[in-house]
Amino acid sequence: MQFMKRPEPQEGELTTDRIEAFSDGVFAIAITLLILEIRLPHSEASHESLAASLWALWPSYFAYIFSFVMIGIYWVNHHYIFKIYRKTDHGFNLLNVFFLMCISFLPFPTAVLGSHLLDVDEQRTVVAFYVFGLFLPAFSWFLTWIYACFNYRLIDLRLSPKFVRYLTRKYGLSTVIYTFALILALIQPVLGLAIAVGLTFLYLLPSKKPVYVELQED
Indicate the DSSP class of residue 57: T
Q: Which is nearer to its own copies, 100 or 138 (CB)?
A: 100
Residue pair 16/96 in contact (Cβ under 8 Å)? The answer is no
Q: 204, 208, 213, 215: which one contacts its own copies (CB under 8 A)?
A: 204
DSSP H or E run through 27: helix 17-33
Amino acid at 191: L
Binders of its own copies in range 78-117 (CB under 8 A): 79, 90, 93-94, 97, 100-101, 104-105, 107-108, 111-112, 115-116
CB of 12 to its own copies, least distance (A): 4
Rounded Cα distance, 116 and 94, in Å = 34
DSSP H or E run through 97: helix 90-105
DSSP lists the bridge partners of residue 159 as 212
Residues of this chain that interact with its own copies (CB under 8 A) are: 1-2, 11-12, 14, 18, 21-22, 24-36, 38, 40, 43, 49-51, 54, 64-65, 68-69, 72, 75-76, 79, 90, 93-94, 97, 100-101, 104-105, 107-108, 111-112, 115-116, 119, 121-122, 125-126, 129, 204, 206
